A and B are shown apart, each in its own frame.
Chain A
Amino acid sequence: MNVVITPAMVGQVVISGLLAGALYSMVALGLALIFGVMRVINIAHGTILMLGAYTTFWSFQLLGVNPYLSLLVSMPLMFLLGVLLQRAFVRRVVDAPELSSLLLTFGISIALVNMAQLAFTSDLRSVEFLTGAFLLGPFAFSKSRVVSFAFAVFLTLFAFWFLQKTRLGKAIRATSQSREVAMVCGINVQRIHLYSFGIASALAGAGGSLVAVMVAIQPEMGQVYTFKSFLVIVLGGAGNYPGALLGGMLLGLVEQLSSLFLTTQVSEAVAYVLLVLVLLLRPTGLFGGRST
């Protein structure tokens, strides 16, 4: 492969990387929230994203709802689903060894994927909205990606503001720092777990709605996002919420850059090597923070 790499190409992939990275950040923030608060690795996170994408697809297909407006449907729906899952299943494994939560959420995940296959078939679906790109100097910006990026940034910053400033957000952060101390301070930890899982699922659902306009929708689309979210929270440091934001951007960049210099397929392997290195050398994440 002897392709000459020009600065413009590098600029282009940096742009694509950041556009993709913001979405990764938002979705991974949800996973980081669940892990931070409960020490549970939620394998069903990508599955919830898939359900969010279908929500957008069907509301667009059947009712003609603007895909970005359908965030108002998918986010509350996925919040409720998350609360339900937490209430019915996940709360029973919060203090169990990691094997229990991994298996449990995997079981939930394949059951939901199977339901989606039965209900929606495995056909590839897409939402034809905002196709095309606009040019700015030498760079092309896909319209749908730019708009999705903007929404992802807005929602992530909103979630962040919520965690930093509101009472509930502070209670969530307190619980993820130390459950016992939070309890002593009068925080209802069970309820915080419920909210955290709900908020995390809403973020995943939002991710689904935003990727719905860019990629093919099918019941098994979520697994990739689960895996990417793992990468992001490891890069950023598990339980480190600002780290998840930077980690997402970094993953987007690494993926795009390695697909420029190598090929698209290997970019996943590059990301994995990065993951192992970070785990070994900086177990608290690239961006410092408290150890877990």
Chain B
Amino acid sequence: MKRGFVAALVVAFVGLALYPTVATGYGIRFMLQLFMWVALAQSWNLISGLTGYVSFGHVAFFGTGAYAAGILVTTHGWHWGPASLVGGVAAVTLALIIGYPCLRLKGPYFAISMLGLNEVMRVLVSYFEGLTGGGSGLSFPAQPVSVQIYYAMALSALAVTGAAYFIITSRFGLRFMTIREDEVAAEAMGIDTARYKLYAFLLSAFVPGVVGGLSARDTGYIEPISVFPLIITITMIVMALFGGKGTIWGPVLGAATLFVFQELVWARFIYLHQFLFGAIIVVVVLLMPRGILGILQQRYHLPRTI
């Protein structure tokens, strides 16, 4: 079973690595967006799935990365690659500033403060027009780089999933999960909870920042409402939840399934898109709060963290 799984993974890797040589332009863009959602859902999983602190404004890191990279590319002529990495660093910096005070808040209060953070980032980006172009946004110079972005996105998704694997299977990750199960007990056992929550938060902010920069390069244009919408946060949460939060493969599974579903089905119902998404959220929350993997784990007695 385990061998078969590894073999399947290798085949999938090789297949995805060779895919751009045979794919159409649409196929490449489809896959790179799928990778983006895997990376985002998995990043959210690192803070919220593992420590239980619900980040309800994770898109703030995505948008911050997009703008940091966007400014470097459009006004300083940087290459999009390093610019996106700086985008990740910018997101981590924001996470440090916000996480230090806000991670002391419990339960719904943390969620509200993160929701607010996103609103404020959007307002600030619109306000500093000289730097960010304000409401008229930033346009990137035209460059046909879809294939490179494809690999960069794939690498981001791989990196954050790899990180999830190493964290979840290590003592380090055990501390996160202890915080989720019972923070007071975690503290009583000598875990510096404030510090570990901050670690999880910083880890979860980096890749969304990078992916934000990459996605901005791919789209070629960013504006405040396009990179700070609440719906991106919700989508990554629902994807992680649908697959199974707090697990390694859940966010990957959830992101892939929902994204494919979205492209195949919702495209036919453009006017009902949001309604259907709302309905899916309601169904996931009410009927399968532990996700696909959660259901499988219960039925087949699998370990809780796979």
Which residues A75-124 have CB closer than 8 A to chain B? 89, 92-93, 96-100, 102-104, 106-115, 117-118
* A30 CB-CB contact with B under 8 Å: no
Q: Chain B interface: which of A15-23, A60-68, A261-269?
A: A261-269
* A187 CB-CB contact with B under 8 Å: no
Which residues A34-53 have CB closer than 8 A to chain B? 35, 39, 41
Tell me the nearest residue of chain A to B289, going by C-beta.
A100
A110 to B280, CA, bound (A): 11
A266 to B124, CA, bound (A): 7
List of A residues within 8 angstroms of B273 by Cβ: 114
List of B residues within 8 angstroms of A275 by Cβ: 112-113, 116
In the complex, are the beta carbons of A92 and B127 less than 8 A apart? no
In the complex, are the beta carbons of A280 and B281 less than 8 A apart? no
Q: Chain A interface: which of B75-83, B97-105, B137-145, B199-207?
A: B97-105
A87 to B260, CA, bound (A): 33
Tell me the nearest residue of chain A to B48, going by C-beta.
A99
* B158 CB-CB contact with A under 8 Å: no
In the complex, are the beta carbons of A98 and B108 less than 8 A apart? yes
A257 to chain B, nearest CB (A): 17
List of A residues within 8 angstroms of B109 by Cβ: 234, 238, 279, 283
In the complex, are the beta carbons of B275 and A111 less than 8 A apart? yes
* A230 CB-CB contact with B under 8 Å: yes
A109 to B277, CA, bound (A): 11
Q: Encode B270-306 as 1/0 by CB contact (under 8 A) with A.
A: 0111110111111011100100000000000000000
List of A residues within 8 angstroms of B285 by Cβ: 93, 100, 103-104, 107
In the complex, are the beta carbons of B108 and A272 less than 8 A apart? no
* B123 CB-CB contact with A under 8 Å: yes
Interface bin, chain B: 35 or more
* A10 CB-CB contact with B under 8 Å: no
List of B residues within 8 angstroms of A96 by Cβ: 289
Tell me the nearest residue of chain A to B134, going by C-beta.
A265
In the complex, are the beta carbons of A41 and B112 less than 8 A apart? yes
> Which label, helix, strand, loop or mixed, suits the secondary structure of the A interface?
helix
Contact of A111 among B48, B111, B279 (CB under 8 A): B279
* B210 CB-CB contact with A under 8 Å: no
Most chain B Cβ neighbours within 10 Å, of A103, A109, A112: A103
In the complex, are the beta carbons of B116 and A114 less than 8 A apart? no
List of A residues within 8 angstroms of B289 by Cβ: 96, 100
Contact of A92 among B126, B237, B280, B286 (CB under 8 A): B286
In the complex, are the beta carbons of B126 and A98 less than 8 A apart? no
A276 to B115, CA, bound (A): 11
List of B residues within 8 angstroms of A227 by Cβ: 115-116, 119
List of B residues within 8 angstroms of A104 by Cβ: 281-282, 285-286
* B39 CB-CB contact with A under 8 Å: no
Tell me the nearest residue of chain A to B106, going by C-beta.
A283
In the complex, are the beta carbons of B115 and A107 less than 8 A apart? no
In the complex, are the beta carbons of A111 and B116 less than 8 A apart? no
Q: Encode B37-58 as 1/0 by CB contact (under 8 A) with A.
A: 0000000000010001010100
Tell me the nearest residue of chain A to B245, going by C-beta.
A99
In the complex, are the beta carbons of A102 and B286 less than 8 A apart? no
A263 to B126, CA, bound (A): 12
A-B contact pairs, 6 of them (CB 8 A): A93-B285, A98-B54, A110-B281, A118-B271, A118-B272, A269-B127
Please report A residues at the B interface, Cβ cutoff 8 Å.
Answer: 35, 39, 41, 89, 92-93, 96-100, 102-104, 106-115, 117-118, 223, 227, 230-231, 234, 238, 263, 265-266, 268-269, 272, 275-276, 279-280, 283
